[in-house]
Amino acid sequence: MIQHARLDPLVLKEDFPILYTTMNGKPLTFLDSAASSQKPMQVINAIEKYYKEEHANIHRGVYYLSQKATEQYESCRIKIADFIGAKCAKVVIFTRNATESINLVAQTWGRQNIGRGDIIVLNEMEHHSNLVPWHMLASEKKARLKFIPLTNDYTLDLSNLDEIVNHQVKLVAISQMSNVTGTIHEIEPVIKKAHEVGAKVLVDGAQAASHLNIDVNESDIDFYVFSAHKMLGPTGVGVLYGKEQLLEHFPPWMGGGDMIAEVYKDRSTYADLPARLEAGTPNISGVIAFSHAIDYLKKVGMRSIHNHEQELTEYTIQKLQELGGITIYATSQKDVRSGIVSFNVEGVHAHDVGSILDEEGIAIRVGHHCCQPLMKKLEIAGTCRASFYLYNTLDDVDRLIDGLKKVKEIFKRVIKR
């Protein structure tokens, strides 16, 4: 049995200067990494160094600074390919975020391959980013959407998978991990069934890529998307992975510099992958800094990160249950929970909970979390969401519980009035 080193969040926390600041005069307890993680000094320093000492545009200069920037930019592409188990680097396409990556697939491959009466399969817990682009494409192409339902235990109900994923299905677009419940979805049977009927599979890894070991080749994933900002990297950098034989047939999505082979007055020819899908000057500093974020994650170890988050999640659920008067939206299956706990305090609106915790220096996310169809299914307006990462501690959870005790005490006094 492989043993994975136990990470020490207190040691790692020292790399994150923001975690030693205050919010509303109280020490910051940051529990919103599912929205966007904090950044270590290794990433911050990389951005500063690039602009202070190394800035130049890439792919276009024969001088030293341009060549160095190009080398650093492309080395990140190689690191990402290794990080997700891709066969080569040219199938790694840089975008602004996971949302743009999904839209790129929808507006290129989707427009080419989805037609009237075709079916796109999603699940009932999808983030709007993996729902709205398919609404738009389905409306344009007169296609239909079908949904893998949710069980009462906040997992995917695969009991009718054969009926849902039939020969009319052209694409299954499915999140790997819920940003509301923290459930790690069982996607392997879905991928297998999709390929049996000739459909392609897009996996939204926006949440999962920052917490789990990913191997797109072993899992036989056709398209995989994620964002740097949720995994210690900067904002404004996203990734689209696609199988080479699929990406080769993608038409250009945007026209402009760097994506061409030859340009004439009346026509253009286009560059090979990945340049054909990366028009214009990219977020060079962001990509270079993301390279350092990947180095950081690999050094800590994704399995160690996942184990740490599961410990925090289990402890949080236990403490919320002991507190009482709390509804928790999480699966009972501990092995498929990771780093997110959504809950509501009985009789208190989520926004009120968030505001009171804010006064205590505790940052959580409240609302529908860009999952309105799921909220409608659960018949709630939204939830409070605490989400963890490698720098969080059990003390952070204890502060959350103390904050919730204050919430309950305040509303107890209000009710008495």
Cis peptide, bond prior to residue 274, ω within 30 of zero: yes
Q: Which residue has the tokens 């879905």?
A: 190
Tokens coding 141: 């192409």
* DSSP state letters, 292-337: HHHHHHHHH-HHHHHHHHHHHHHHHHHHHHHH-SEEEE--S-GGGB
CA distances from 274 to 68, 241, 271, 413 (A): 19, 10, 8, 61
| Cβ burial, residue 87 (10 Å; 0-12/13-18/19+) | exposed
User: Catalytic site residues?
Assistant: 370
Cβ–Cβ contacts within 10 Å for residue 213, how many?
Answer: 15
Q: What angle do CA 321, 152, 399 make, to 5 degrees?
A: 25
Residues contacting residue 179 through CB under 8 Å, at least 6 positions apart: 34, 127, 206, 207, 340, 369, 370, 371
Among 404, 413, 417, CA closest to 325: 404
